[in-house]
Structure formats: structure tokens, C-alpha cells
Chains A and B, each alone.
Chain A
Amino acid sequence: MILETAIKNFRRHLAGRVLYLVALALLVMVSYDCLTTYQDSFINQISQGNPALVALLLLFFSLLGFGVLIIFYANRFFIHQHRPELGLMIISGLSRSQIALIFFLETLFGELLALGFGLILGLLTNKLFAMLLLRLMGLHAATNHWFSLAALWKTGLGFLIVFILVGIFDSSRIFSLRTVRLLYPNDLEGIRQRNSWFNRLLAWLGPLLIIAGYVAIFKLSWIHFMETLRFSDRATLNTGLIMITLILGIWFCFRNTIPALFAWLQGTNWAYRQQRILDFATTGQEVQFHHQSLTLTTLFVTASVVLLGFASVLYSDGFRNLEEEAPIDLVADHQYHDQVLQQIKARGGQLKRLAHLPVKIMPVAFHGPKSEVIMSQATMPIEIVGMHNYLQIQRHQKNLLPVILDRNQALFISADFQYQHVRLHELMKNQVQFADAKLPRLQIVAFSRVYPFGSNLFFGNVLVVPDNIFEQIPDTNSRVLVGYRLMKIAPDSNFLQKIDDNSYKSKASRQMRYTYPKQLQKAKITIYQDVKRDLTNAYISSNYSVRGPAQVLLQRVLGAIVFVIGLLAILMTFAWASVCSLRELSEVERTRFDYLTLTKMGIEQHYLLRYSNWKNRLLFLSPVIFGIGNGLLVMRFVGLYLNHLPLKLLYLLTAVVFVIYWCFYLFTAYNYRRIIKMNRPPEQQAR
């Protein structure tokens, strides 16, 4: 009978829980995919034990953890929904353990169903998963590995442990339930806020903390923790501080501020004249009752948006950096030219000459707004290339900015400029004065952060000038870089790795010492080759560069991380939205009585349905919007820091998050109406 009851209960609630089970199944599916891919020997082999694959393992465990969280919350709402039934069972004389068993079985059926489906989906989608991952990692290989017994049972076992763990939580909850509370549910009255000074303080504190958090995001320096990831760091401390402030702020807002505000609204005459506002105001208690899950929703949405933001930054920015750093297979200047070329040819590699680039160097001074900031001194050394050569390279390096310069115009290339908080239009008002007085001043008309042949080969700032000016610049310290395409040699071979490593060694690098006089004419540039790297204040660049294994590795790490982060964010959104939906549906039974009373009082049904829709929408979507706002704000700030943040991609992904929640809201509202109508008293049912 216990089993039968559990089965019947399960069947009865299936319709409202479908999406939650689907979400669980998706979690299982991705977990299985992660494990299989992580263990797949073929993928391990072609990615050469890439550390990034560990991210998959991390994802697996975070999915298990997230599974605990959502099942825990879902069951909490199930218990809430079942309260009268549980009470009835208790007073009919069922022992708590029998009741806990019924409940456990009831939830277990759903979970097992989800597990089974998830594993099947996992088997089906495994290939797609691996292909996506490989594509993002820049590996071109086909994998056909989809079945792994080990991964199958590990995923199954992992989730079974999760189910049992949550089952134990639930049982202890069922054991501690008080019978009176179950049979005479008055939770909303029970938590009605006392108007104590403490609660009033918290109500004010909520928004204040949020504002403080926002201000802190913009004023404190925190983002560097992403680079150091050290816990003792000041930036890490700040990040933690901002997070705690925001979390507390959001929590108090849902717990105290909004209920207090709504209670106040409800008391005003003005609200009584505005039906909508009154409807709005009456949801205050529900907000308070659900403040925990509302807070979590906000946080999860914020986290999703931030994660997606970082994924899209990594995706476009990381890959772009890669392209900017080593866009061409091989570049060498005359000094190393023969040596490197011979090594490669000896290994069977073939080379195709693409273009050459003469580079000159000279001190310059900028004149115009913020010029001191741009130069960070009174003058600065700059490497100069001619427009014609630049455009030649642009044919092979598509990410170079294509510009046609008139007389007296110049293109400024700098990777540091974006960190100087100077606006572009201010830069464009600057003129460049050369140390050689014969040369005319040039107007900066364009800016780019992409260097021809890659940034490794330059000291810092580069100027592209019209060819007639380039010819007038003296040849002191000049050099010629030649770019090649590499063929018949694997891009990730150890051999190339060695050449690449050697190019960073101090012997192979070029160093420049620059004196900073007040007057431009007195500035002096000294270039050292083949010396030990012990010069302070020196500029360093490479003499040659190979697009080798380091880049390949980086690309794969980036790919794996982007994949994992993006997936986690989307899954999190989906799973949590389904839990929100359960929360709303668990309230139906209770509102049903209010609903009946109100219909008996003669209030029209369509009005009541509209009201419940409106209430659902408020509870469902307000934390989502709040969370999206938070997330976008954080990313906006990150965007200030990286002024080329691909916000368009982020907006798109954010819209996806919102649409997922919106779909869940529609599903919930539909089921809500269905149940409310189903529970109409029989007299009203057509027979």
C-alpha cells in the first residue's frame, strides 16, 4: 500500500513536475557526457593530457552539487504542497517513517525516471558534446566514442547518492513537522512581520547594501583577482566583500524591504483607488514567505549572466588575443632568419614567404588632450612602419585594421591604451611630433590594438605612417621582419615548442633602453641584443615568433573553459527555473481555498485568474529581472575595464536566460490555472 500510494501520488503530480524532471535529466545527461569525455582515451590523446579537461571533472562535481541543491529545494516545495495530506496521514496513525518512506519513494520515482532519461540522452548526445568541445578547443578530429560503462555507472551512482542524501534531509524534515501546522496551515500569518525596530532597520539596510555594493563595484579594485586568484590578495578580499554586500542586500530586500513597502502601500488610500497597485501590494507576504528562494533566484540569475559574460569575453577576447599575439605562423628578422628557417626545413617543414615589414624606431612626443597620460612620460619611443607594407600584411592577417592614410596622418597601434582610461576621441585630437625636426607633425586618425605580425615582435607602441614620411625617417636601429606560412609540420609538435621557447630566452630577445629627457631632441634610444636580461626599465621584444604549441594549448584551454562555463550557466538557469515553477505550483492548494471563497463572494473568475497570473509573474520574473540587472551591471563594469567587451554576445545570452525563465513562467501559469479550475467545487462542475 505504501508503494501504491507513492505511485499514485507520483502520477498525480507528474504533469506539474515534468519540466523539473527534464531539468534533472539534462543535469544527468551533461554529467554523463562530461565523464565520458574526460575518460575518453582518444580525446585525451589528441589533446595531449590537456589540463583543461580537468574542467570537465569540475563541471561534473558542480553539477552533482547543484543537483543536491535543486532536488532539496524541489522536495521542500513538494512537502509544502503535501502538507494537508501529510497531516491526514499522521492522524490516521501512519508512523513518521512510513510517511517519510512514501514521500521518498514518490520523489525517487521521478528522480529515477530523470536519471534513466538523462543517461539515455547522454548516450545520444555524447558525440555532439565531444564535437562541440573539440571544435571550441580548435581540434579537428572526429570522435565516435559514446558508450562508457564506467561513466554510466559512475554517473548513476553519483546521482543515486545525491537522491539518497536529499532523501535523508527530507525524512528528517518530515520527522520534525508539527501536526498542527500541517492541518491548520497558517504560515503566512505566522510570519507576518512584527513592526519591530530591528525589522525596520533591515528594511532600510537592504537597498542601502545593494547601492553600497554597486558603488563598491565601481570604486574598489577587485577585478584583478581574476588574474591572481590568490586568497590573500586585496582584490580577492574586495571581491568577497562586494559579493557578501550584494547577497545580504538582496536577501534583506526580499525578506524585509519589499514586504514592508507593500504593507505600507496596502495601507494607503491611493492604492485602494488603483486596483493594479492593490493587487501588487497584496503579494508582499508571499514575497516574504519565499524570500529565500527569491534571493537564490536573483543570485543564480546574476551568476548565470556573469558566467555567460565571462564565457563570451573569453570566447571572443581570448581568441582575439591569441590571434593578435601570433597571427602568422612564423616571423623572423634578418638576424635569426637563416637559423630558424634551416631548423624548420631540416625537419621537413615547408615555408611560404608572405610579406616583409621594415621597422624603424624614433622618439616622439604627442601633443593634444591627455597626451601625458598616453605617453605616461614627457616623450616616448615608437616603432614606425610604412602604410604600404602594413597593407601588404593586412592581406594575410585579416584582423589588422585596414586604413588608407592621407599626407600627415598616422595610425596609432597600442595594446596598453585601453588601460589608460583615455577616450578615443581624445586620442584622435593628438598630433605626433618626431624627434627629427625635419619631419612634419602627423595627426592621429585611427587607433588599433592589433600589431602587424603580432605584438611579441614590438616593444610597445607602433605608428603606421604614409610611405613618403616613412622614407624620410633615418635607418638607425631599423630592421626587417619577414613573415612565412608553415606547411607540412604539426602546429603542436615538441619541435616547434622548443623554437617558440627559445624565442623568449634572453639571448634571443631585443632590449631597448630609453632615457626620458624633457626635450624630445635629447631623447636617446639604445638597443641591446644578446645580453642577459637584467636591465631595469627596459623594453623587450622578440626577434622572431612561431605560432606554436603554446598558442594551441591556450586555445584549447580557453575552448574547454568557455564550453564548461557556458554550459553550467545555461543548465543552472534551466534547472533553477524549474524549481521556481514548482514553488509556484506548491501554492495552488492553499490559494485554492481563497479562490473558492472569492468566487463565492461573487468575484468574477477571469479577474481572479488575471490576479493569479499577475502574482505568478511578479514572483517569477522580478528576481530574474533583478538578477539580470545585477549581472549586466557587473559586466558593464568589466566592460569599462576591457573597453572592447563583446556586449552584444552577452545581451544575446542574457536574452536566452530571460526567455528560459519566461517559458517556465508560461508553463507554470498554465498549470496553475489548470489546477485551480480542476479544484472547483463539484457543484460548479458540469455533470
Chain B
Amino acid sequence: MRMVEVKQVSKSFGARNNLVRALNNISFTIDRGEFVGVMGPSGAGKTTLLNIMSTIDHPSVGRVYLAGQEITALPERDLATFRRENIGFIFQDFNLLPALSVSENLIMVLSMLKIPREEVQKRLAYYSEHLNLKQLLNRYPNELSIGQKQRVAAARALMTQPKILFADEPTGSLDSKSATELLQYLATINLENETTIMMVTHDAFTASYCNRIVFIKDGAFYSEVVRSGSRQQFFNQIIDMQAAIGGGKISDFRNRD
């Protein structure tokens, strides 16, 4: 089943005399239960693409279908409901409301959805158990380390049991141990709950947790790599593709598996 369909999307920024084409007629699809990585050189348009697919931004031209709905045609009023029911997010840095404690951050949206209290408590128990947040529930965001924050963010995004999870460089500010934990967890829920995940990353090691990597360059689809064998093989394939696209970083070549 189609989860995401991007149809001939273009996005330009700026006025006429200094127009930036961030996305240039890009099209692709993601099926339900896929774990897709998006890679490409800096400035390729990854964040822009993610923003458009996740209803944060609007494309200049083109359409995006999410869970069968054409989100590019939805009015803001319906978008709120749609987001609540279908989408989860993990950003690189700002993920939590600083005024609320960890548990309040986790249950805030749910309690506004009028989901029964027992159900909310059940999910809270489940995710805090899984993401190892039990001791942190009563703390406030400014009392957490960045890795802890990121785990809370993942839990927050998953509490609504979204159909699709978007993540923009979620491991960008994590040390390798925390990053690995988070990624392993994402891989688990992808398998267990059939949550579709789309993740933007620079890092080949992070990307190697995905099933498929979409490479974009200069705002257009460049190529894709599908995982067939072991993670190590996939990792090497990714690195080769990065070298071909010309956007790899030295650190990516270090074998960290």
C-alpha cells in the first residue's frame, strides 16, 4: 500500500532576481512500513523536501499524497487533525515544550485528542519503558542531556501512533552510543508497528539502518539504493553512492559498525 506519493514537486525560494530552486520536479513513492533515508550533499534540498512532505511547508508546484490524502490541497483547519492522526516528527534540536515536564510533553497531544485516560497511561507506560525514560518522567527539558531529550522526542512523536514518522537528522547531535540506541529503536518500531519512517541524514552509518536510501542532488532525484544483504554491505553501497554524488564527508568513511 502506498503511504507517500510525491508528484512532480518543485519549490523555489526568494524573489525573481535571486531565485533559489531548492526542489526541481521531484517524484517518488514510499510504501507502507518502509524505512527510507534521504541523503544528498548539503543544500541538495533534503530539509525542504521533508518539510513539504510533512505539511510544514507548501510546494511551489506539484502534489503530495500522504496516507491517501492530498495534503497539498488540505486547508489549515483539516491539516491539524490530519497531523494529529497521521504524522510524527523528530527534529534535530527543538522537540519539547520547555514549560512542561517530560510526561506532560508526552501526553499533551493525546489528552487533547480526548483519548481515554487509561489508554493514555498505557501508552505512556509502554513508550517510557521501551525508550528507557522511566526515571526522567518528572524532569523538565532543561534538566535533560541532549541524548535524553532526543529519546523523549522520539517517544513524543510515537505516542500518537502515527502512520508515518519524519525525522530530520535525528542523530545529528547525539554521541554514537545514544545514536545507535535511538536508531535501533526506530528500526524496531518500524518492524513491530509497521510505522513508515522517513529520515534525512548525512551520515552513512545512520542511513544503514534504513531499507532504502533516496539520493537527491540539486533538488532532483539522483538515484536510490535498496538494502538487500547485510547492514555492512548496505553501508558500503551507501558510501559508494555518496562518493559518486560528490557530497560525502571524511568521517563517513570510517567504518563504525
By a beta-carbon cutoff of 8 Å, the part of chain A in contact with chain B is 1-2, 4-5, 8-9, 11-12, 84-85, 87-96, 98, 175, 179-180, 183-184, 678-679, 681-683
Tell me, in angstroms, the Cα distance from A339 to B111 when the chains sit together.
91
Q: Which B residues touch A88, using CB under 8 A?
A: 94-97
B143 touches A94 (CB 8 A): no
A682 touches B144 (CB 8 A): yes
A-facing mask of B204-215, CB < 8 A → 1, else 0? 000000000000
B77 within 8 A of A: yes
Question: Of B62-70, B82-90, B238-246, which stretch is located at the interface?
Answer: B82-90
Residues 51-92 of B contacting A (Cβ, < 8 Å): 51, 54-57, 76-77, 80-85, 87, 89, 91
Question: Of B23-31, B98-106, B125-133, B186-194, which stretch is located at the interface?
Answer: B98-106
Tell me, in angstroms, the Cα distance from A484 to B142 when the chains sit together.
80
The chain A residue with its CB closest to the CB of B93 is A593
Tell me, in angstroms, the Cα distance from A683 to B174 when the chains sit together.
12
Contact partner of B84 (CB less than 8 A), chosen from A11, A92, A683, is A92
B146 within 8 A of A: yes
The chain A residue with its CB closest to the CB of B83 is A93
A sample of 28 cross-chain residue pairs with beta-carbon separation below 8 angstroms, ordered by A number, consists of A1-B111, A1-B112, A5-B99, A5-B104, A8-B100, A9-B99, A11-B99, A84-B94, A87-B94, A88-B94, A88-B97, A89-B97, A91-B56, A92-B84, A92-B160, A93-B82, A93-B83, A93-B85, A93-B160, A95-B77, A96-B80, A98-B112, A179-B55, A183-B91, A183-B94, A184-B47, A681-B146, A682-B142
Known A5-B100, A9-B99, A180-B56: A95·B144 in contact at CB below 8 Å: no
B104 to chain A: closest CB distance in Å? 7
Tell me, in angstroms, the Cα distance from A8 to B145 when the chains sit together.
22
By a beta-carbon cutoff of 8 Å, the part of chain B in contact with chain A is 47, 51, 54-57, 76-77, 80-85, 87, 89, 91, 94-100, 104, 107-109, 111-113, 142-146, 156, 160
Tell me, in angstroms, the Cα distance from A96 to B75 when the chains sit together.
12
B145 touches A95 (CB 8 A): no
The chain A residue with its CB closest to the CB of B143 is A682
A91 touches B100 (CB 8 A): no
B145 touches A5 (CB 8 A): no
A94 touches B98 (CB 8 A): no
Among A87, A90, A95, find the residue whose CB has the most chain B CB atoms closer than 10 A: A95
A12 touches B99 (CB 8 A): yes
Among A12, A88, A93, find the residue whose CB has the most chain B CB atoms closer than 10 A: A93
B119 to chain A: closest CB distance in Å? 15
Tell me, in angstroms, the Cα distance from A683 to B82 when the chains sit together.
38
The chain A residue with its CB closest to the CB of B109 is A92
Tell me, in angstroms, the Cα distance from A84 to B99 when the chains sit together.
13
B98 touches A93 (CB 8 A): no
Contact partner of B98 (CB less than 8 A), chosen from A85, A98, A682, is A85
Q: Which A residues touch B143, using CB under 8 A?
A: 682
Known A93-B85, A96-B80: A179·B99 in contact at CB below 8 Å: no
Tell me, in angstroms, the Cα distance from A183 to B92 when the chains sit together.
11
Q: Which A residues touch B51, using CB under 8 A?
A: 180, 183-184
The chain A residue with its CB closest to the CB of B89 is A91
Tell me, in angstroms, the Cα distance from A179 to B85 when the chains sit together.
18
The chain A residue with its CB closest to the CB of B107 is A1
A396 to chain B: closest CB distance in Å? 71
The chain A residue with its CB closest to the CB of B156 is A92
A601 to chain B: closest CB distance in Å? 16
Tell me, in angstroms, the Cα distance from A681 to B146 when the chains sit together.
8
B154 to chain A: closest CB distance in Å? 14
Contact partner of A682 (CB less than 8 A), chosen from B56, B97, B99, B145, is B145
Tell me, in angstroms, the Cα distance from A679 to B142 when the chains sit together.
7
B97 touches A93 (CB 8 A): no
Tell me, in angstroms, the Cα distance from A98 to B47 when the chains sit together.
27
Q: Which B residues touch A93, using CB under 8 A?
A: 80-85, 87, 109, 113, 160
A34 to chain B: closest CB distance in Å? 37
Tell me, in angstroms, the Cα distance from A95 to B84 when the chains sit together.
9
Q: Which B residues touch A184, using CB under 8 A?
A: 47, 51
A92 touches B83 (CB 8 A): yes
B225 to chain A: closest CB distance in Å? 28
Q: Which B residues touch A84, using CB under 8 A?
A: 94
The chain A residue with its CB closest to the CB of B110 is A1
Tell me, in angstroms, the Cα distance from A92 to B84 when the chains sit together.
6
Q: Which B residues touch A4, using CB under 8 A?
A: 104
A91 touches B99 (CB 8 A): no
Q: Which A residues touch B144, using CB under 8 A?
A: 682
Known A183-B56, A678-B142: A94·B94 in contact at CB below 8 Å: no
A621 to chain B: closest CB distance in Å? 30
Q: Which B residues touch A683, using CB under 8 A?
A: 145
B97 touches A85 (CB 8 A): yes
Contact partner of A92 (CB less than 8 A), chosen from B77, B104, B108, B146, is B108
B184 to chain A: closest CB distance in Å? 23
Tell me, in angstroms, the Cα distance from A11 to B101 when the chains sit together.
13
Q: Which A residues touch B81, using CB under 8 A?
A: 93, 95
A591 to chain B: closest CB distance in Å? 15
Tell me, in angstroms, the Cα distance from A678 to B98 when the chains sit together.
12
Tell me, in angstroms, the Cα distance from A93 to B94 when the chains sit together.
16
A79 to chain B: closest CB distance in Å? 15
Known A93-B80, A678-B142: A179·B56 in contact at CB below 8 Å: yes
B41 to chain A: closest CB distance in Å? 19
Tell me, in angstroms, the Cα distance from A93 to B97 when the chains sit together.
14
Contact partner of B57 (CB less than 8 A), chosen from A2, A85, A180, is A180
